[in-house]
Amino acid sequence: MPSFSEMNALVTRSRRPRVALFALLGGIPVALAVYGEITNAGDLTAVASLLLLLEALGFFMWPALAPPRPERQGDLGLVQADEAGLRFEGDLLLAPRDVQNVVVEPLASGACRVWLGAARTRDDVTVTVASEERAELLVSVLGLDRLCVSRFLVARLPPRTRRGRLTRTVRAGAGVAVILAVSVALAQREPAEGLLVVPLLVAYVFLLAALGTRRATELVLGADGLAVGRGRERLVVPIADVLAVLARREGTALVRIAGGEEIELRFGEDERGTLARNAFVAGAHEAIAARKRDPAVSPVAGLLVRAATSDTRAWLDAVRGVGAEGEDYRRAHVPDEALWRVVESSSVDPSARVGALLALRARGSARQDGGVTSSRLAARFRDMAEQIVHEKVRAAFEAAAAGAEDEVVVTAFDRGSS
């Protein structure tokens, strides 16, 4: 089993949120308010309300007023890695399955920095090793050189719908109402009213903290496109529709897509955000370049596209006919290479890619080289599935890699799940 080891490697980990400090600051005014109510000390309740109000305002204003934090220097020590994960001084820091993107950054000193972006931001790890060759060895030992789909957390785009504007207005109005309620309670010097405002203000602070002024959402980049958001808000953009990806100010990227639309992605203004932005831009440029090298596949793809009026049986008969060996006066022979170009193309209709996949399986079955469960075809389909963002195409490839029958593959394509 390959392994990696280096003494005096510099390891930098993300700062952990100071939950205990936030709980202490929030609990002090609440405790004062409760004590004031028990002892009938109205002035104490009013002071607690004022203190909680100031803490709530400071909670939201601090990011804008606080001076920039100095970059963490990290810790020097023994770094070891194998297929089980990355270790520092014997403690497991990160398992390969938890890594969603990798950035290798050569430094002017000749050393090289490897940033491992985790599913949770707080688990990110940066390792600085002696050279670029050592960095590549570290990535290879962890099995991350085969990482084909990168995932990031970006700031959610501002809502443009009427409902989104209404939501923001309601949130702002709720905040104003809370502040007015506290002001009235303090002006009238009524302890009971002040006490009633305390839980309301606490609930509002936690609500805004949960929603956030810049909600994070998922960005996925693959060989065939990119996807932003989750669930119903998920936006999938084929790589063929991406005209340009530009790096803007720190931690920000702009994606220009066909039709004149633009998507602004904010990764964060700290060092992590800049690294993630650079990784995304580099990956997008590579995907765009690969798409431009894509040979013309439209003639063959046109034979494999699923018509809107075609049922499953008719489509399967058509693609199996394309995959059949030999030719006659009605059908010309389609070479294997042409079918593989359609399967690998990110610019053709998604149904054409699945059709080419089914045609290759039919041809393999006819050659009696293992049929639909051929390990060679399955391994290649599995590797390709890891690079696909389009959910339906990915589901079809995963089903094919698992050896499912053609009808099951089509069902997975229709449903978007394998």
pLDDT tens column, 109-121: 889 988 888 877 7
Q: 4 with 87: CB under 8 angstroms?
A: no
SS3 320: helix
Cβ neighbours, 10 Å, residue 75: 12
Q: Which pLDDT score, from 0 to 100, does residue 275 have?
A: 82
Mean pLDDT of 11-35: 70
**Does 240 have pLDDT greater than 70?**
yes
Q: Which pLDDT value is given to residue 210?
A: 54
Q: Considering only 67-71, 197-201, 324-328, 353-357, which range has the smallest mean pLDDT?
A: 67-71
Q: Identify which of 145, 141, 15 has the alpha carbon closest to the alpha carbon of residue 72.
A: 15
Mean pLDDT of 199-209: 59
Tell me, rounded to whole angstroms, the distance of Cα 259 from its chain centroid. Answer: 25
Sorted by sequence, the CB contacts under 8 Å of residue 130 that are 6+ apart come out as 6, 110, 111, 112
Q: Pull the structure tokens for residue 291.
A: 């798409």
The per-residue pLDDT for 159 is: 39
Q: Cα separation of 312 and 22, whole Å?
A: 58
Output the pLDDT for position 78: 93
CA distance 385 to 336: 19
pLDDT for 61 equals 59
Which long-range contacts (C-beta less than 8 Å, at least 24 apart) are formed by 13-16?
Answer: 13/74, 13/93, 13/124, 13/125, 13/126, 14/121, 14/122, 14/123, 14/124, 14/125, 14/272, 15/72, 15/122, 16/122
Does the pLDDT at position 211 exceed 60?
no
Q: Do 153 and 219 meet the contact criterion of CB atoms below 8 Å apart? A: yes
For 232, the token pair is 């119903």
180: its two tokens:
């007015």
pLDDT, one tens digit per residue, over 29-74 is 778 777 777 787 767 767 777 777 677 666 655 555 555 554 456 7
The model carries a pTM of 0.59
Least confident of 19-28, 224-233, 263-272, 331-340: 19-28
pLDDT confidence bin for 88, thresholds 50/70/90: very high
pLDDT class of 15 with cuts at 50, 70, 90:
low
For the stretch 282-299, pLDDT in tens is 888 888 887 776 655 567
End-to-end CA distance of the chain, in Å?
Answer: 32
What CA–CA distances, in Å, run from 256 to 230, 239, 261?
21, 11, 6
Q: What mean pLDDT value characterizes the chain? A: 76
Q: Are 189 and 49 in contact (CB under 8 A)?
A: no
pLDDT value at 195 more than 60: no
B/e letters for 404-414, b = 16+ CB within 10 Å, e = fewer, are: bebebbbbbbe
Q: Residue 380 pLDDT > 70, yes or no?
A: yes
Which helix (H) or strand (E) segment holds residue 245: the answer is: strand 242-247
pLDDT of residue 86: 93
The average pLDDT across 199-210 equals 58
pLDDT classification of 228: cutoffs 50, 70, 90: confident
Give 306's strand partners: none
Residues 187, 193, 198: CA angle, nearest 5 degrees: 105
Residue 155 · residue 32 · CB < 8 Å: no
